[in-house]
Amino acid sequence: IFRQTVAGQADQEAVVPLSGSSTTTSTLLWDETNFITAIAIVNLGSGATTISITARDTNGQTIGTSTIQLGPRNKTETTLRSLPSLAGIVGRRGSAEFSVPSGALALLGIRFNGAAFTSMPTVDR
């Protein structure tokens, strides 16, 4: 469970689903029309890896691609829109596919709307 505390507002909590330990590809549906999508990614592998990200609109057309370098058993977190070449998702809806060439990854999506936030399920393969 994640909790967000903002001064002067009630705390908000979100329950987060876990990815499997052998996931090599994970797809996240996002909505950046009135929300901000944040992600947390973990490299579950024993070696450094490059995570490839492809963002698509609701028609399946590629909006942009990006990569994240992660060391073994390391994590990172950011907003989806702040990744290089993915600013084009703002104001749109779609999906983002995260994949690793070897090893495994775990992905978490969180959608923010002002003080409210919720977890976003992923489809893992």
What pLDDT digit, counting tens, does each position of 49-90 carry? 999 999 999 999 999 999 999 999 999 999 999 999 999 999
Q: How far is it, in rounded angstroms, from Cα 43 to Cα 34? A: 30
Would you tell me how many other CB atoms lie within 10 Å of the CB of residue 18?
A: 9
Q: What is the DSSP letter of 81?
A: G
Amino acid sitting at position 79: T
DSSP category for residue 19? P
Q: What is the pTM for the complete model shown?
A: 0.89
Q: Which of 24, 18, 17 is nearest to 98 (CA)?
A: 24
